Chains A and B, each alone.
Chain A
């Protein structure tokens, strides 16, 4: 079975859940709760809040509150719901147990050369440039660019004032631009085309 069929299946499941089909809710949960839990856990150290956010995500689908427009990737959509439910859960928690999710100065796994090829990081200029940013800047970029959060939402998630998120994003963009320009000047030959996860 290919990915398209699975997505169709997910779309049908979503519709069934919104129509009040409990079995469909269970199947949607079994399919998506695991990776959502892992991914949310990278952004929030309280497993209670993560669990709550996962419940809230599926409840939102259940109550039909989160309307899926019927186009696009269900997994990407459900992640968009989940990250915002996590932010709501953190807000409700009123900051009692909140801490920044990033873990500075932790031993980082050294990727083998093979893994690096698979991950496709060494090929581009963006990877090293991003890696050389400070953890705070990377967190701000992750929340706003990759998770697509607003500055206000990112501020809740990162536990810093909104102005701080704005200035970190601004400075991160500046630093990235500078680093990429440097890298461009340094490379004479064009870098090999990157196949993410390795060549087929």
Chain B
């Protein structure tokens, strides 16, 4: 037995004893009365050839989109408590499906973010204790924070990048089926990925020894980096955009840590430039939002 559908023949080859193509298309166009429609339905239920002919009247793109939604739903599970909660609160089901299919909102991803943050925070704590026990008390030196400051925003950026990098995205077809504009969809996923990744970062910033303003000071650079990456996607591809945004963080942090003033990257003058960068990124996004509309492929 082959895997081919049982009836390969088109409408023309169905012949006598089957619903004519003329009647089928009238049935699809709802221009037959109910009695004819009932006869068509009764026959179609029992006849694989006419089912195939009837299916040919449905837009194949529409079916393909619905198919990808089905597969995401089959893969992500329906009965997750968080999913039900979101449903009860009134979040549309399709939006929940999209969020559930965002790689950076999966449990495995979030766990690895927490792991990375825990490692760099632990390292910062350790270095801080070693250096404070050997050094005389004086002006606080936050050099021990360098690994944390370097890595924390990068994990956030990676989470957002994973939300739009097509290579990581099982739903790039699904996006076209969603009742949102391309940009709206991207923003929903970006913001949910951003928030999900910021929670462990900010929590760690509270715990590790450092200036009290650190948790708040990290927010603006994180937002700026993520939206810079999104804005860059409209100009260069997704992967170069993610790398570019990453470089815009790594380079200043590396330079400043050479000069032992790594916290300067999240302090006042730098914050102003992050704010400017965020604003510029939002302007670029607003101007080039059509790049995210349906049919656009990087």
Contact = CB atoms under 8 A, between A and B. Distances in A.
A37 B51 CA distance: 11
Contact of A34 (B20, B27, B35, B54): B54
Interface string A96-120: 0000001100111101100100111
Given A34-B55, A118-B23, A119-B39, A135 B34 contact: yes
A139 interface: yes
Name A's interface SS.
Answer: helix
A192 interface: no
A186 interface: no
A115 B27 CA distance: 13
B17 interface: yes
Given A1-B6, A55-B73, A121-B35, A75 B23 contact: no
B230 to A, nearest CB: 28
Contact of A75 (B30, B51, B58, B70): B51
A55 B6 contact: no
A49 B32 CA distance: 23
Given A3-B48, A6-B48, A119-B23, A142 B1 contact: no
Interface string B283-296: 00000000000000
B67 interface: yes
B7 to A, nearest CB: 7
B36 A119 contact: yes
Contacts of B3: 27
A7 B66 CA distance: 24
A7 B57 CA distance: 22
A107 B44 CA distance: 24
B37 A42 contact: yes
A48 B37 CA distance: 23
Name B's interface SS.
Answer: helix
A73 B18 CA distance: 18
Interface string A119-144: 11100000100110001001100100
Interface string B25-59: 01111111111111111111111100100111110
Contact of A118 (B19, B29, B58, B78): B19
* Most B Cβ at <10 Å: residue of A3, A35, A102: A35
B66 to A, nearest CB: 5
A103 B30 CA distance: 8
Contacts of A115: 20, 22-23
B208 to A, nearest CB: 44
A165 interface: no
Nearest to B23: A115
B67 A33 contact: yes
Contacts of A54: 66, 70
A15 to B, nearest CB: 15
Contacts, number: 151
Nearest to A78: B45
Contacts of A162: none
A155 B23 CA distance: 29
A38 interface: yes
B44 A35 contact: yes
B20 A109 contact: no
Nearest to A112: B22
Interface string B169-196: 0000000010100000000000000000
A16 to B, nearest CB: 12
Contacts of A5: 1, 6
B12 interface: no
B69 A55 contact: yes
A9 B5 CA distance: 9
A18 to B, nearest CB: 12
A35 B17 CA distance: 19
Interface string A34-64: 1101110010000010011011001100110
Interface of B: 1, 3, 5-7, 16-20, 22-23, 26-48, 51, 54-58, 62-63, 66-67, 69-71, 73-74, 78, 93, 177, 179
Nearest 5 A/B pairs, CB to CB: A34-B55, A6-B6, A109-B31, A109-B26, A35-B54
11 contacts: A1-B6, A3-B48, A6-B7, A38-B28, A38-B54, A38-B55, A51-B62, A54-B66, A55-B69, A62-B74, A112-B22
